[in-house]
Amino acid sequence: MTDESHVYGEYCQRDQTIHPPSFAPGYKTSVLRSPRNSLISLQNSLSEITAPVFSRDEFGPLDNDLILNYAHGGLPVGERIVVHGYVRDEFRRPVRNALVEVWQANAGGRYRHRNDTYIAPVDPNFGGCGRVLTDGDGHYVYRTIKPGPYPWRNSVNDWRPAHIHYSISGNGWAQRLITQMYFEGDPLIPQCPILRTVPSEAAVRQLIAVLDRNNAIQLDSLAYRFDIVLRGARATWFESRAQGEPSMQRE
Amino acid sequence: MVNALDYLKESASQTAGPYVHIGLAPNQAGFDIFEKNFTNAVAPPGVAGERITIEGRVIDGSGTPVRDVLIELWQANAAGRYNHPADRQDKPLDPAFRGFGRACSDFKTGIWTFETIKPGSVAGRAGKPMAPHVNLWIVSRGINIGLSTRMYFSDETEANAADPVLNLIEWEVRRKTLIGERETRGNAVVYRFDVHLQGPQETVFFDI
């Protein structure tokens, strides 16, 4: 079997028990924004196993450097960090050419967004967004400032742990995922209503980056390692590879 | 002992939060950082196919438009082929057409739009043709896992009636939630498509 057929197969059914339920009343905004009917389950067609393909020439040299990509005559305030990891599928295969996009608050916990009115100041040298394509091993890396925690209106004393938002576009539309990365040792993690929407301890742990001193840049930046798992492309038979043959599927 | 499966578990989804726009479409959020951006202009000039606008809102369970939503669109070209190596249908590819776009809702009105071309019919499972459709993926604050849906076209009555995915939906009344209504405004063709997150008109969402 060629490597290509591994990458472009039909995807494993999503294990919905890993993910937060749509309706999670502890996170109040979900109440009016959660569908109440069951999802209609589809077997994959070309609409789900294909997805946009991105190329390296679409991205600038500073797109994965949040320390410099919005610097206007100075450097952003805060703790300099490198974040890196592997994007793999459920079968441990690297997801190559996956688009990893990140966005975050600055060191004071403030986003550069018109709807963010938190008292902490905007940093004139920090934009808070970046993006990178995974390489042939499924590896990605970017550098940034460690984001600060911030309060938000859910209950009046709810605080988000420090986190970086992640969007991952894999090789198939069915792999599309948005999640958040947290930092090892943050005492706000167990109290976070948004993280509490995740049903299991194991799934929460998978969202916490670990300090990676081996990859720290000496006398410059600490490093964190954060691996991501997307749905697996099945290595078993898929009808698109056997056009013209009778379908094995019963409908 | 039986064999052990050493498969990994998918990373858990988390809400995109209120500031998703700066991450995925900073230029649409009014903030200039990247040279090249993903936008709601899906089809550059010169791409074959009927030019259309898709316009809609996402509406919450109280009937209020969601004003901080981000929507992604993925579609085939006018010949009905996706620009991706897994699509090996014997149909022409248009290298200038990726078929991907991102739209933010207007922060005041909740209206979002895509400027694109109408896709052709793509072969579905077992070779059964699917009616022309675009795939949509919806994220926002309060949505814990991105919502997948499809928009079909109101002027494709016959193809829609035979579509294998629409026909999977047991309740015929719910199939209508996936049909964009064709309108003409001057010379422009607009498909109106409101997504209802809850309520009697709740849109069909798929576990893909």
A165 carries an active-site annotation: yes
**Domain positions in chain B:** 20-196
Distance CA A223, CA A232 (A): 28
Rg (CA), chain A: 20
Q: What pLDDT, on a 0 to 100 scale, did the predictor assign at position A101? A: 98
Yes or no, beta carbons of A115 and B145 under 8 Å apart:
no
Indicate the SS3 state at residue B96: coil
A234 carries an active-site annotation: no
Encode pLDDT of B175-197 as tens digits: 999 999 999 999 999 999 999 99
List the single best residue of A23, A27, A47, A181 to mutate versus B (max B Cβ within 10 A): A47
pLDDT at A237 over 90: no
Residue A219 pLDDT level (bands cut at 50, 70, 90):
very high
A249 within some domain: no
Cβ atoms of B26 and B37 within 8 Å: the answer is yes
pLDDT at B81 over 50: yes
Average pLDDT of chain B, as a whole number: 96
Mean of pLDDT values over A227-244: 71
Encode pLDDT of A173-183 as tens digits: 999 999 999 99
Encode pLDDT of A94-129 as tens digits: 999 999 999 999 999 999 999 999 999 999 999 999
Yes or no, beta carbons of B82 and A47 under 8 Å apart:
yes
CA-nearest residue to A203 within chain B is B12
A196 carries an active-site annotation: no
Distance CA A165, CA A163 (A): 7
Q: What pLDDT, on a 0 to 100 scale, did the predictor assign at position A234? A: 81
Q: What pLDDT, on a 0 to 100 scale, did the predictor assign at position A235? A: 67
Residue A202 pLDDT level (bands cut at 50, 70, 90):
very high
Which positions ≥6 away from B119 have C-beta within 8 Å? B49, B75, B76, B77, B78, B80, B99, B132, B133, B134
**Of A19, A165, A176, A196, catalytic:** A165
Indicate the SS3 state at residue B57: coil
Q: What pLDDT, on a 0 to 100 scale, did the predictor assign at position A199? A: 97
Mean of pLDDT values over A198-222: 98
Q: Provide the whole-model pTM.
A: 0.95
| A68–B contact, CB cutoff 8 A | no
A203 within some domain: yes
A199 within some domain: yes
Proportion of chain A above pLDDT 90, given as a percent = 88
A251 within some domain: no
Residue A244 pLDDT level (bands cut at 50, 70, 90):
very low
Yes or no, beta carbons of A45 and B72 under 8 Å apart:
no
**Structural domains in chain A (count):** 1
Mean of pLDDT values over B118-125: 97
User: What pairing do the DSSP bridges indicate for beta strands A222-225 and A208-211?
Assistant: antiparallel
Encode pLDDT of B3-37 as tens digits: 999 999 999 999 999 999 999 999 888 788 999 99
Q: What pLDDT, on a 0 to 100 scale, did the predictor assign at position A7? A: 53
> A7 is in which domain, residue-wise?
3-33+44-242
- Short-list A10, A1, A3, CA closest to A233: A10
Just give the CATH number of B20-196. 2.60.130.10
Indicate the SS3 state at residue B89: coil
pLDDT at A242 over 70: no
Q: Name chain A contacts of B13, Cβ cutoff 8 Å.
A: 19-20, 177-179
A160 carries an active-site annotation: yes
Percent helix / strand / coil, chain A, rounded to 5: 15, 25, 60
A91 within some domain: yes
Which positions ≥6 away from A234 have C-beta within 8 Å? A9, A10, A11, A12
- Write out the two tokens for A237: 């038979």
Q: What pLDDT, on a 0 to 100 scale, did the predictor assign at position B1? A: 81
Q: Name chain B contacts of A251, Cβ cutoff 8 Å.
A: 125-126, 164
Q: What pLDDT, on a 0 to 100 scale, did the predictor assign at position A9? A: 81
Average pLDDT of chain A, as a whole number: 92
Mean of pLDDT values over A144-162: 98
pLDDT at A238 over 90: no
pLDDT at A15 over 60: yes
Proportion of chain B above pLDDT 90, given as a percent = 96
Q: Report the CATH number that the domain containing residue A226 is assigned in CATH.
A: 2.60.130.10
